[in-house]
Amino acid sequence: MTAYQTSGARVIEPNTVRTADGVNLFYRDWGDGEPVLFVGGWSLGADSWCYQMLALAEQGMRVIAFDRRGHGRSSDPGRGYDFNTLADDLAAVLEALDLDEVTLVAHSMGCNEVVRYLTRHGQRRIRRVALLGTMTPCIARSADNPDGIDPALLEYFRKEQLMKDLPKWIDENLPPFVAEHTPQGMRDWLRAMPLQASLQALYECNRSLQREDFRAELPNITLPVLLLAGTNDASAPFELTARPSAALLPNARLQVYEGAPHGMFLTHMASVNSDLLDFVRS
């Protein structure tokens, strides 16, 4: 595999990786032991994983998470929101921290970034992969993907909601993201994360998610893959995402959470933490 855009990636100061194209990526790095690297979902960064990270660190693992470009405390470069560049950023973190035998854990759009990393950079550094609420293999409706989401709806979201009133959209869509019993304090904490991201980054990442098709890439991933999926996931409907992804991956195990929404890492925290711990130890 060619090392696209990662040569020269390095740690320039505590908690900061600088990529080959000059973007600073904030990361957290807790504990020692076998490394587990977390990749956040669309609009979310390292903070979203803190309850999984702490649980695994307490079990003797080294846990790392980073803010993708345009999110949280990372640079807002105004470019590079295609999946090739985002995969290169993931490769930059792995290279700068010199990580090997890694378990990758991703949520939502982050799952697509992980898939592109593995097919673009290879599997040498990675031992296993866990995908939560994956958005693979492809979400947009097309002639050969008739059950996908109408592209006009995705365009409406970007033009009429994201570009006009992001806080309103968050308020309207947070309830289906989490369960009704999720405490208000936790909702407020989660609500704040997208507001820390570049609006351009959110727009371009969503457009990349609509454009990309990972059906040809998934069969090339031979590593063990754990798919965690919820039956009430409004963002990544089970029949459109997890089920076909599991069918395409040659070494996948699908774990279904009855009634779980897209934000399962919060609403089903104990189950997610237990399943991740068992998977890392397997």
Catalytic, out of 47, 67, 89, 233: 233
Which backbone phi and psi does 65 adopt, to 5 degrees?
-145, 150
Question: Is 7 designated active site?
Answer: no
Q: d(Cα 167, Cα 270) in Å, to the nearest integer?
A: 29
**Beta carbons of 238 and 260 less than 8 angstroms apart:** no
Which residues, in sequence order, are CB contacts of 199 under 8 Å at separation 6+?
162, 163, 166
225-244 core/surface letters (b: 16 or more CB in 10 A; e: else)? bbbbbbebbebbbbebbbeb
Q: d(Cα 236, Cα 176) in Å, to the nearest integer?
A: 11
C-alpha dihedral sign at 268, 270, 273, 278: negative
266: nearest Cα among 56, 113, 55, 51: 51
> How many CB atoms are located within 10 Å of the residue 216 CB?
10
What's the half-sphere exposure (Cβ side, CA atoms, 13 Å) at 268? Answer: 24
Which residues, in sequence order, are CB contacts of 130 under 8 Å at separation 6+?
103, 104, 105, 106, 225, 226, 227, 228, 276, 279
Catalytic, out of 29, 262, 268, 275: 262
Question: Is 108 designated active site?
Answer: yes
Catalytic, out of 75, 108, 198, 245: 108
DSSP state for residue 142 in the 8-state scheme: B
The two structure tokens encoding residue 23:
């973007």
Question: Is 233 designated active site?
Answer: yes
Q: d(Cα 13, Cα 29) in Å, to the nearest integer?
A: 13
Q: Which residues are catalytic?
A: 108, 233, 262
